[in-house]
Chains A and B, each alone.
Chain A
């Protein structure tokens, strides 16, 4: 009898521990690209403000190249990663069975930056121009091909120079007429250089975005098909956590900037700026309590930029302005949702570039919106 009682006690303790363990957040690594940067603020906010923990995850971040992210997800060495849409199509055409479950960037972030002195009201004027690009691959190359295609041009009509990720410096040296860039970042840097008189004869720049020409599927969250089929609940919880964190950044960029400080070493953060951002973040919380609509919130972001620009040097606000520019590429009524038409446009672009020698399979198999509905407010 005593033995039986002991067994019951041990079993009860074991069950108790198991239940506790289930409530503990599970360690999960999200693979990002590039380097720690304020553009990844939703992930930093997800960690710092507990959105991932609420979803049941203890998230860590790693920064790799896109092909490495895709391969590690495809073989199951990581569960979640962020890549651009065209990489999903290319990778699937090469046997990587991954699925895109959440469109993070609602607008394609690539565009063409050029001196305001140039007349590019008609894109056909690009003919004969020297254009810089990081390389003949990735989102930049797809974006340029789309812009050229919308003007009835091809690569043969321009002088394309591969310049690495040095667009501001090379552009301001006057070596190129225009550069393919991420529209939320480099144009701002070039504008700053021009304002300081460090950009040759250029006094201001304009940008033509790919998104203004055609809707291409952009950066988003991917998982392996194996995970999607075996553990859809985990995918659903991660999507919900990311959606909540993303909405939080869109609604309160000052707070997001402060959360990013723990992850991005080079963010400007002198005491005066921190105090201003903390005040702005608190005021924004009060504002959000009045249930404003998207338009009101967008206006509040513009107001934040205007207020801070009166009090701080341009250089101190560059990264905050990068964040504010990037939010415009994320914001949508139904964040996370991707259209079939944007996948078709991307596939056609890759096809025209000759990158799709192998069959990429059905586009419907590449993405799903099943986790998006209800994830957003």
Chain B
């Protein structure tokens, strides 16, 4: 392994280290007030304190729970409706005005309504998350299934393959790369859905932690909560990317 390769591997960490040093230097020199941008040392202290008292873990678990069920619901419905639309294009004409109208409205605009309709508990957060992850899943499912080669479909039909066999051996593998690409987008959006819901109501979750820390003028804790959201988002993206890498091994082989 050459020096160039090693440098490429460690360069992301070097970038982060440089940014942290720059941040600390700016804070130490008082270029920006600590009130507006707390120094990294204060943020680290807030991180260790919130870990020690269990607050960070508690709120993170709540947000993860909302995201998990929201993803399950949104992705499940997105896959089902996407499959139905791909198979019966008339459904696209019937449903698309409602779906596009819902999707083109910023979620923060109607999140308060979801709290009124589904209550201030976890249900409204799950629905908020489901709504935001639904659309990318739906679109990618439709695109994925429609990208299946008609020739291959005709070939399977000529071999007397049943609907399930066509789905299992042709449609699902062909659509999977596009669907997984949509899932990568959905998982990162799920954090936004859950946190928007928490901003509107409920007494726990990372969105709530941001609000309550902000109202107690604990800016370092706000930064900790924001970084935790980023970490969750990146981790989920990484998990889906790993799943994609594992499941689409055949695609890599055929490309090679």
Contact = CB atoms under 8 A, between A and B. Distances in A.
Contact of B217 (A91, A135, A170, A173): A91
Interface in A67-91: 67, 70-71, 74-75, 90-91
Contacts of B208: 135
A137 B112 CA distance: 18
Interface string A196-222: 000000000000000000000000000
Contacts of B200: 164
A311 B201 CA distance: 40
Contacts, number: 66
B214 interface: yes
Interface in B18-34: 33-34
Interface string B205-226: 0001001101111100000000
A169 interface: yes
Interface string A127-142: 0000010011110000
B50 interface: no
A136 B35 contact: no
A107 B154 CA distance: 78
B217 A94 contact: yes
Contacts of B212: 135-137
A164 B201 contact: yes
A94 B34 CA distance: 11
A81 B212 CA distance: 21
A163 B120 contact: yes
Interface string A93-120: 1111000000000000000000000000
B116 interface: yes
A119 B202 CA distance: 28
B120 A75 contact: no
Contact of A135 (B33, B34, B35, B201): B201
Given A135-B211, A138-B215, A355-B216, A71 B115 contact: no
B115 A166 contact: yes
B238 interface: no
Interface in B81-127: 112, 115-116, 119-120
B214 A67 contact: yes
Contacts of B202: 162
A248 B205 CA distance: 45
A112 B78 CA distance: 43
Given A67-B217, A94-B218, A162 B35 contact: no
A10 interface: no
Contact of B116 (A67, A95, A162, A170): A170
B217 A169 contact: no
B174 to A, nearest CB: 44
A353 B216 CA distance: 12
A66 interface: yes
Contacts of A132: 120
Nearest to B204: A162
A29 B112 CA distance: 30
Looking at B115, B119, B120, B203, the one whose CB has the most chain A CB atoms below 10 A away is B120
A166 B116 contact: yes
B36 interface: yes
A163 B201 contact: yes
A165 interface: yes
A175 B215 contact: no
Contacts of A95: 34-35, 217
A161 interface: yes
Contacts of A169: 116
Contacts of A94: 216-218
Given A135-B201, A161-B120, A162-B201, A75 B215 contact: no
A135 B199 CA distance: 9
A163 B119 CA distance: 8
A175 B201 CA distance: 15
Contacts of B116: 166, 169-170, 173
A162 B125 CA distance: 13
B115 A74 contact: no
Nearest to B199: A164
Contacts of B216: 90, 94, 137, 355
Looking at A65, A95, A137, A162, the one whose CB has the most chain B CB atoms below 10 A away is A162
B11 to A, nearest CB: 35
B33 A75 contact: yes
A218 to B, nearest CB: 17
Given A135-B211, A164-B115, A166-B116, A75 B36 contact: yes
A136 B211 CA distance: 9
Given A71-B35, A137-B212, A166 B217 contact: no
A242 B200 CA distance: 33
A160 B215 CA distance: 19
B211 A137 contact: yes
A371 B200 CA distance: 39
A132 to B, nearest CB: 8
A87 to B, nearest CB: 8
Contacts of A173: 116
Contacts of A355: 216
Contact of A74 (B35, B120, B203): B35
Given A65-B214, A71-B217, A95-B35, 9 more contacts: A90-B215, A94-B216, A95-B217, A96-B217, A135-B203, A135-B212, A164-B120, A164-B200, A175-B119
21 contacts: A65-B214, A70-B217, A71-B217, A75-B36, A90-B216, A90-B217, A96-B35, A96-B217, A132-B120, A135-B212, A136-B203, A137-B212, A138-B215, A160-B203, A162-B201, A163-B120, A164-B112, A164-B115, A165-B112, A166-B201, A355-B216
The 10 closest A-B pairs by CB, nearest first: A94-B217, A137-B215, A164-B201, A75-B33, A162-B201, A164-B200, A169-B116, A67-B214, A163-B120, A161-B120
